[in-house]
Chains A and B, each alone.
Chain A
């Protein structure tokens, strides 16, 4: 438990620093690379939460595929390699009170609801078989819907990005 706690705090700190850099850096490519740090940290937290299959999917889909999409997006929109000054809104100072108010509301709700409640020390291992039983059992209809969403997204992205 102590080792897991130490691991949690180190990874959480790295994730928060990375997330802050994503929203504050002046370089689009650096933002994408800091986002990799946050996503990898999230995968590590999933392992701490006994969700190995989701963690591996996170690494494959997010760090593998989505990051490549982001880097291609920055390349095709000809972001300058290096710092840019024109990335933030003129009213960006309003983002701090908005985010702060949301965090205060969520923090109060979390402290009131869960307080000092602990996670179970010995969690039952969730096997990939159990997850697939869920997906192809009670959640089959959402799975079909999701297949159509992905198909529509693929076709839509091609139609949008194609030069006529």
Chain B
């Protein structure tokens, strides 16, 4: 197996995730796209871990999984709060911060 086949898979998933973050308006779907991006990073870390014969990548991947879980928890809490206040979770409606 080539190193590049895993790295290209991760790159494709990363770019699809970036497209989702740009194109989606629903806040829950934006969070899902961010999960795609984080997963592609994990694939990269484990590929390099296997290539270099070290276990550091495994540790980083586990830490990323934990951070992603925390991020989703807080993110969905924010989405619920926005929904309760505005009756909508479209990120385009949140324009109070723009002058």
Contacts and interface: CB of A to CB of B under 8 A. Distances in A.
Contacts, number: 252
Query: Which DSSP category, helix, strand, loop or mixed, fits chain B's interface?
Result: helix
Interface string B9-27: 1011111111110111110
A142 B85 CA distance: 36
Contact of B12 (A8, A16, A58, A92): A16
Interface residues of A, number: 89
Given A126-B55, A150-B66, A20 B3 contact: no
Contact of B3 (A38, A46, A114, A160): A114
Contact of A110 (B7, B61, B92): B7
A11 to B, nearest CB: 9
Interface in A107-161: 107, 110-111, 114-120, 123-124, 126, 130-131, 134-135, 139, 142-143, 146, 149-150, 152-154, 156-158, 160-161
B11 A103 contact: yes
A70 B12 contact: no
The 4 closest A-B pairs by CB, nearest first: A23-B20, A92-B23, A95-B22, A153-B70
Given A22-B29, A38-B36, 10 more contacts: A8-B6, A38-B39, A69-B73, A77-B89, A99-B19, A114-B4, A115-B4, A123-B50, A153-B73, A157-B77
Interface of A: 1, 4-5, 8, 12, 15-16, 19-20, 22-23, 28, 31-32, 35, 38-39, 42, 45-46, 48-51, 53-54, 57-58, 61-62, 65-66, 69-70, 72-74, 76-79, 84, 86-89, 91-92, 94-96, 98-100, 102-103, 106-107, 110-111, 114-120, 123-124, 126, 130-131, 134-135, 139, 142-143, 146, 149-150, 152-154, 156-158, 160-161, 163
